[in-house]
Structure 1
Amino acid sequence: MSSAANLRNIGIIAHIDAGKTTFTERLLYYAGITHRMGEVHDGDSQMDYLPQEKERGITITAAATHFSWLGAEVHLIDTPGHVDFTIEVERSLRVLDGAVAVFCGVGCVEPQSEVVWRQADRHGIPRLAFVNKLDRPGADFDRVVDDMARKLNARGVPLTVPLSEGGEFAAVADIVTMEKVSFSAEDQGAGVSRTPLSEAELALCARYRETLLEAAADVDDAAAEKYLAGEAVPAPLLRAALRKGTLAGKIFPVFAGSALRNRGVQPAMDGIVHYLPSPEEAPPARGDDPLTGVPATRKPVPSAPFSALVFKVLQEEGRRTVYLRVYSGKAEEGDTLLNAATGQKEKVARLFRMHAGKKERIAVAAAGDIVAARGIRFARTGDTLCDPGAPIVYESIEIRKPVVSIVVEPRTVREMERLRDLLCTMADEDPTLSFREDADTGQILLSGMGELHLEIAIDRLAREHGMEVRKGNPQVVYRETVASAGRAESVFEREIAERQVKVVTVVGVSPAPRGSGVRISDGFRLLGLPPDVADGAEMGLREGAFFGALGYPVDDVAIELSRLEFLSGVPSPMAAKVAAAKAFHEAYEKGKPYLLEPVMAVEIVVPDEFLGGVIGDVNARRGNVTSVDRRPGGSFLSAAIPLKEMFGYVTALRSLSQGRGTYTMKFSHYDKG
């Protein structure tokens, strides 16, 4: 158990193929955790431990590990770059205190880099940037820093910059100490030497030094006094000023390197300790008392009442493992905890510190720790575990809705029940994966964030559980909403428990802004209904919105229940629920329902000579081109295209660009089909 002041809880975030996992492998090697470097392209990296990750050379699940550096204990999570696995990034950023964003020196700020950067912005996480692959032709360090300002509205401050020898990236210049930092080839970059900069190198670094001094002066008065007086600013004062600006989110230190060539990594490791926060420097964890709803906070100290957020659930060898970020207090094996989200009690059987797919048993988990626990039977992603005597519930984790579905069925009817159980387990692990049975056909519809997401899920069913399934073609997950307001007065009359019950209900439905979901006005709570009857009515409205008049989930509607009166019979929650659902459907049909289809934000990179053909194809797919950015590496085209039109697009793009075009896409919004 480390002191919280010496902890760093960080994540590695980036676009797919920017080099996150390779960078992480170097961190572990130089910290002495591993004795040989695993390579993604060889399928032997430590952090990509799933068979699917080794085969595809991509990160699918966020892997946690830890190492020591400069006297600090660094807890690190390597996150996926592929948009289909964005839940892994979201739930990791929710529990981290800092992050390192890895940018490709050639591709600069790529689409998924923007997505994960915005996610980190939303959580207010301080970040460093590591500009990778500077050994490759076309790499441009300055362009990445400019891209950060232009695309991310982020003030990147270079702390190391690339130095070339014979046109090759060979070393970095440390702008804080104004030294040349070289990495020995004999021991895979582990040997680091510092020498004075030559006159030519000093001239090259002068503008970076000025940028650094200006940034330090803008965030720290002591640094500003020396800078404005023309005095030398010592390195410790510079680091203190940069740390202050980084923690405030005003500046983002930038480091140069090439992880694959073992150059520039150790200065970035120093930067993790120097500039990213400890749990003690993060704001107190904010939540609510689940009994009163009153806001509450917990200080990140072991003496406070225990509280932790469940951010991941895994099934390993038939056992349920829960990943926790401990925000306050401490817990030991055998302790009983309260799930503040559900009111259930949980008992901690085992505690572990993680290293990718391996575990190290520990006795105590304390404030600031990221650990795995066994024995937690019911808690799900986003639940809060806390001291039963001091309950608190933290904000849960945002989970995006699936946009693609496929039909899956077992080889034999006898395996149907087992398939349901396995899918329940997988949906417990991955909240962006869901399934339902079609009431008409009896088929199971499996839904996820994209084709790759579903492909991996089916592969895991076969490999890990021996469940071979047949699958149908991908289908779009539609939703529906109303074009105008609708109002209905509905009468529900039925004999319940040998007594005639008659309920009159008035419901109004109206369109709501895109992305707002189903909003139910709580004005009906003032109608004088018993609390359990009012709860039943609300449940009826929500269940009524599960499927609308067109057979799809209802979205973006505002619902108002203005009357619910029992004309005869005893008021009951069940009668209120059925009456409210009936009135909702009648009002909804009067609102002129129509379909909504998922629209994807698509980023396409093609050589300039193929741009015209690609734009024409986007238009033919009912797409809307939002921007075209011409760069030395080709044209970057941004577009909004309905998901229905994107199936098989990889083949079409290859044909249009002679195999030289690439694209990425992420869910943007639902719109009228």
Structure 2
Amino acid sequence: MRSLNLGILAHVDAGKTSLTERLLHTAGVIDAVGSVDDGSTTTDSLALERRRGITIKSAVVSFPLGGRTVNLIDTPGHPDFIAEVERALGVLDGAVLVVSAVEGVQPQTRILLRTLRRLRIPTLVFVNKLDRGGAGLDRTLDGIRARLTPDVVPMVTATHQGGRDARTAARSLADDSFRTDLLAVLAERDEALLAAWVRDEASVGGDRLGAVLAEQTARCLVHPVYAGSAVTGAGVDELIGGLRELLPAPRRDPAAPASGSVFKVERGPAGERITYLRLVSGTVRTRDRLPVLRAGRVAGEGRVTALGVFDHGTEVRSGEVAAGRIARVWGLGDVRIGDILGVPPGDAPHEHHFAPPTLETVVAARDPADRGALHTALTLLAEQDPLIDLGRDEVRQEIAVSLYGEVQKEVIQATLAEEFGVDAVFHGTTTLHIERPCGTGEAVEVKEKDGNPFLATIGLRVEPAPAGSGVEFRREVELGSLPYAFFKAVEETVEQTLRQGLHGWQVTDCVVTMTHSGYNARQSHAHAVFDKSMSSTSGDFRNLTPLVLMTALRRAGTRVHEPMHRFRLDIPAGLLGTVLPGLAGLRAVPRGTVPQGDGYVVEGDVPAVRVHALEQQLPTLTGGEGVLETAFDHYDEVRGPAPERARTDHNPLHRKEYLLQVQRRLSGLGTRT
């Protein structure tokens, strides 16, 4: 049986989880529709989700549809949990984007559809909440065309909007107005259809129009729009018909070599690691051994001890999983989100689709005796959400986590208390900056010369790279000039050291090249065992790399950049003269002002650190009538003095201090490592 991995996405409170419940009920998987308000939904299984009424973790549930199994993935709508959405995107064959008929297009709606279109994920739109007061399908459609995309096809009409008796009816290809609407949208992307339309519109049959609609939907060129109410069930049958006819289940080869991607990791009741795997090709069976690929390299091997698949709304154990399915896998050990199991996939490697976290906070245990338990708990949470980016300050014995927003902080705090019994205190939230090299710098340390206490020779060059390219490590020395373990020690230490640049911020968008290398081969005194004092070890290279790298970085120089948000502000006419000075006071830079209806749309950039202040001042500036949307857009160089971030390491920028700390650490270990 073929499978369709379907994502339900939306801005928070648009009714995404309620629609999931209605789809499961209509498919006969559940007997009663759960309520978000009552905490009785199928996919919001965490106690915290049920209490807060929001989705925090992506959940998978399945139902049968027309001879296929639909694996339905309910994703969070709140922007603080966008990392969960990112991981879900990598496994989707299609999506339903939910838009509220009351609130209309919202900030997260725009971000989601832009990403879905960029990734070419076929997407249907469902306009929800037609039963609510103030609902308007036509108004929402106008907003979708103006603020999302004009490439939409309304598939239903609505009556009695704004009440519990709201109803929808499918538009028929026998209706001339529907045929004309379809032709107008589809012919823009199909020259043969356009030519036939020009010759004789009546000659374009309904079967042909339906086939072209399905083909363009599959290519993410157009988006059929359905509407109704997840609460009453109005319009859901039409949506299910759209899923059946317009979102194809891709053909996968179960006989090919196994290849799948890890998109979620969780812990079971006994603490066992459970991996969520989307199998792209091949078949995985219990007791199979699968290579684990990380960043294009083999990082180990995992042995499958048990498999679970989603079927008719629940999980069932299975002896094997075929291509196209989503499975829960036991026994894989140290597997991380983003790893590839099996052979490399034929498509492009995974890339981040959304902005990284731009906030950071220090977290501490209220009771110092819980410090170790806090670190263990946060490590487990970071395992499930790598973008938490756990950092430990060994100097001040502090732990820092990266965040998307204050709601995420509250959720982490509640999770620590409820699941791990740790009462955590969060200190103030700060904005995360980055550093980029502004030139080229080189440094070399030669073993046993010029005060180098390590049996290692390392030369490194740091150069700028294009914005957004990250960090690339290269070698100019021959691979055989060092044992591979020593090369690996240098590369890993370079990555770790660049987490703190000249000003304490993470260094990115650069190329680090190893230019020199040297080591002492394994040696021993006559008739004696191996002597570490005469032979190079990986520890020599790990301890020397920070000194060389930071010297090269200091010679290159860095500039600090701050995160910038792109904003869109809808304001009434007559307030432009009041709003623009207010934006200037927050260092917001308008990039364009366009008349729209009875007001203006102002778009521009604002520093992330000022977004909260802009949200607070907006009601005063606009008399409560302004509508603001913001989203991370890019990093911009900081004007004026560069902000400093306290270092959390032993500071390789100060040679004597660094070497003293290394000596103390090695003395504590009792040996050179």
TM-score by length of 1: 0.81
Q: Give the superposition deviation at 1:412.
A: 2.5
Distance 1:611 1:127 in 2: 37
Q: Which amino acid aligns with 1:316?
A: G
Q: CA deviation at 1:126?
A: 1.2
Equivalent residue for 1:247?
Answer: 218
Q: CA deviation at 1:665?
A: 3.8
Q: 2:235 aligns with which of 237, 242, 264?
A: 264
Partner AA of 2:471 in structure 1? V
1:354, 1:29 → 2: CA distance? 16
Structure 2 residue 82 is matched with structure 1 residue 86? yes
Q: CA deviation at 1:430?
A: 0.8
1:212 has 2:182 as partner:
yes
Equivalents in 1 of 2:66, 2:312: separation in Å? 22
Pick aligned residue for 1:276 from 247, 260, 268: 247
- Give the secondary structure class of the aligned counterpart of 1:398: coil
| Alpha-carbon separation, structure 2, partners of 1:441 and 1:523 | 35
Please state how far the C-alpha of 1:329 moved relative to its aligned partner: 2.4
Q: Work out whether residues 162 and 169 of structure 1, in 8 Å CA contact, stay in contact via their aligned partners in 2.
A: no
CA deviation after TM superposition for structure 1 residue 421, in Å: 1.1
2:568 and 2:309 mapped to 1: Cα distance? 38
Among 435, 440, 464, the alignment partner of 2:419 is 464
Aligned to 1:99: 95
Deviations 1:27-62 (A, max 9, x none): 122212222222334433333332332333322221
2:466 counterpart residue number? 513
Gaps of 5+ in 1: 179-201, 281-299
Q: Is the 8 A contact 1:540 1:579 kept in 2?
A: no
Aligned to 1:451: 406
437-446 vs 335-344, greater mean Cα deviation: 335-344
Q: Hey, what's the Cα distance between the residues in 2 that align with 1:515 and 1:171? A: 48
Matched positions, count: 617
Return the match for 2:151 from 143, 148, 155: 155
Question: Is residue 49–residue 357 contact of structure 1 (8 Å, CA) maintained in 2?
Answer: no
Q: Conserved in 1, the CA contact under 8 Å of 2:135 and 2:161?
A: no
Partner Cα separation in structure 2 for residue 499 and residue 458 of structure 1: 44
- From 26, 42, 53, the equivalent of 2:49 is 53
Residues in 2 aligned to 1:354 and 1:607: alpha-carbon distance in whole angstroms: 50
In structure 2, relative to structure 1, the CA distance for the partners of 1:207 and 1:231 (3 Å cut) is: closer
Q: CA RMSD in A?
A: 3.8
Q: Distance in 1 between matches of 2:520 and 2:161?
A: 89
Q: 2:302 corresponds to which letter in structure 1?
A: E
Letter in 1 for 2:559: Y
Residue of structure 1 aligned with 2:566, choices 591, 598, 601: 601
Please state how far the C-alpha of 1:462 moved relative to its aligned partner: 0.8
**Which of 426, 441, 447 is equivalent to 1:487?**
441
Select 2:396's aligned residue among 413, 424, 441: 441
2:250 maps to amino acid: P
Deviation at 1:143, TM superposition (A): 5.3
- Per the alignment, residue 352 of structure 2 pairs with 398
CA shift, 1:647, in A, is 4.5
Relative distance call for 1:487 and 1:232 in structure 2 (3 A) is closer
Distance 1:68 1:219, change over 3 A: farther
1:313 maps to a residue whose letter is: V
- Residues 515, 670 of structure 1: 8 Å contact kept: no
* Residue number in structure 2 paired with 1:672: 637
Distance 2:398 2:440 in 1: 33
Q: Which residue of 2 aligns with 1:623?
A: 588
Structure 2 residues not aligned, in runs of 5+: 522-533, 639-673
Q: 2:209 aligns with which of 226, 232, 238?
A: 238
SS of corresponding position for 1:595: strand
Indicate yes or no: 2:253 matched with 1:301: yes
Per the alignment, in what secondary structure is the counterpart of residue 472 of structure 1? strand
Q: Which amino acid aligns with 2:499?
A: F
Secondary structure of residue in 2 paired with 1:407: strand
**1:334-359 deviations in Å (ceiling 9; x for gaps):** 43333233443323333333489963
> Does the aligned pair in 2 maintain the 1:239–1:274 contact within 8 Å?
no
Q: Does 1:350 align with 2:306?
A: yes
Name which of 363, 367, 378 aligns with 2:323: 367
Aligned residues of 2:101 and 2:135 also touching (Cα < 8 A): yes
Q: Distance in 1 between matches of 2:164 and 2:455?
A: 84
Structure 1 residues 493 and 476, CA gap change in structure 2 (3 angstroms): same
SS of corresponding position for 1:46 = coil
Name which of 389, 405, 413 aligns with 2:368: 413
Structure 2 counterparts to residues 118-197 of structure 1, below 5 A: 118-135=114-131, 139-142=135-138, 144-145=140-141, 147-153=143-149, 155-163=151-159, 170-178=166-174
Deviation at 1:626, TM superposition (A): 3.8
Post-superposition shift, 1:64?
1.2
* Range moving further from structure 2, 593-602 or 266-275: 593-602
CA distance in 2, matches of 1:34, 1:345: 38
In the alignment, is the contact (CA less than 8 A) between 1:70 and 1:270 conserved in 2? no
Separation in 1 of the partners of 2:617 and 2:197? 60
CA displacement, residues 15-37 of structure 1 (integer Å, 9 cap, x when unaligned): 22222222222212221222222
Describe the superposition over 1:128-175 as per-residue Cα deviations: whole angstroms up to 9, x where unpaired.
Answer: 122233455665545555555554455212222334589998433423
Which whole-Å CA distance do the structure 2 matches of 1:554 and 1:118 have between them?
28
Q: CA deviation at 1:446?
A: 1.8
The reply on whether 1:555 has 2:526 as its aligned counterpart is no
Moved more, 580-589 or 449-458: 580-589
Q: Which amino acid aligns with 2:301?
A: K
Say which SS state the counterpart of residue 432 (structure 1) adopts: helix
The 3 A distance-change label for structure 1 pair 369 and 437 is same
Is 1:629–1:636's contact at 8 Å kept on the other side of the alignment? yes
Per the alignment, in what secondary structure is the counterpart of residue 261 of structure 2? strand
Aligned to 1:291: none
2 CA distance for matches of 1:584 and 1:539?
Answer: 12
**Distance verdict in 2 for CA 1:148–1:523, change over 3 Å:** farther
TM-score normalised according to structure 2 size:
0.81
Give the whole-Å Cα distance in 2 for the aligned partners of 1:209 and 1:165.
Answer: 25
Could you tell me which residue of structure 1 aligns to residue 658 of structure 2? none
2:366 is equivalent to residue 423 of structure 1: no
Range moving further from structure 2, 423-432 or 228-237: 228-237
Which stretch of structure 1 is more off in the superposition, 229-238 or 552-561? 229-238
CA distance in 1, matches of 2:552, 2:456: 19
Matched, 1:589 2:554: yes
Change (3 A) 1:638 1:459: farther
Q: Distance in 1 between matches of 2:380 and 2:454?
A: 43
What percent of counterpart residues are identical? 31
- Determine if contact 2:130/2:161 at 8 Å carries over to the other structure: no
Q: 1:504, 1:377 → 2: CA distance?
A: 34
